[in-house]
Amino acid sequence: MVIALVVILALAVAAIVYIVGIYNGLVSLRENVKVAWANIDVLLKQRHDELPKLVETCKRYMQFEQETLEKVMRARASVSMASTAGNVAAVGAAEQQLRAGVGRLFAVAENYPQLKTDETFKQLQGRITTLEESIADRRELYNDQVNLNNIRVKVFPDVMIAQRFGFLPAQLLEFSSEEKADVSVGALFGT
């Protein structure tokens, strides 16, 4: 009788430890998704702060390219609003507009030799290029964390605990096929 009670008690403790382990793993994954998104958000804010400086530098040389500069600033505002709202899908769409606008801005800058040699422009261009690469790396990390989270909240037995405690799948930061296509350099230069 005592042995049966000890076995039952040991199984109950093992089950509780197992459930706590699953719960803690799910919490860890959920927090990793939040941290990955926060890292993207930090980089988006840094780029958000750098773009007006780039646009102002370009304005000194590019009086006839106002439309390109305005598109960059509108796209910048769209990314900021979507990021602030935490809308992952909207960030993806706005990001594509912003990347295209910045690419177009850099392409148009090729027509302005004085701008290309301006030290401030070169520094800002390098800074924004570095931020773009960092954002791409962080998007990949974010999607990896989301994927791990989404798998865990859907597999057995984790799904039972996930449903019980409200762990939900997270949204991947995805881009449409047009957004993933190579940029047409000819189109950027108007050829």
The CATH number of the domain holding residue 131 is 1.20.1440.20
Q: Give the C-alpha distances (Å, rounded to integers) separating 100 from 21, 54, 182, 188.
A: 45, 15, 11, 9
Burial class (CB in 10 A: 0-12, 13-18, 19+), 76: buried
On the question of pLDDT at 149 being above 80, the answer is: yes
For the chain, what is the domain count? 1
pLDDT for 48-88, tens place per residue?
888 888 877 777 666 656 777 778 888 888 888 888 887 77
Q: When comparing pLDDT for 80 and 27, which is higher?
A: 27
Residue 10 in any domain: the answer is no
Residue 6 in any domain: the answer is no
Which of 80-84, 164-168, 180-184 ranks highest by mean pLDDT? Answer: 164-168
Residue 12 in any domain: the answer is no
Residue 11 in any domain: the answer is no
Domain carrying residue 154:
19-188
| Average pLDDT for 174-184 | 51
Residue 32 in any domain: the answer is yes
pTM of the model: 0.67
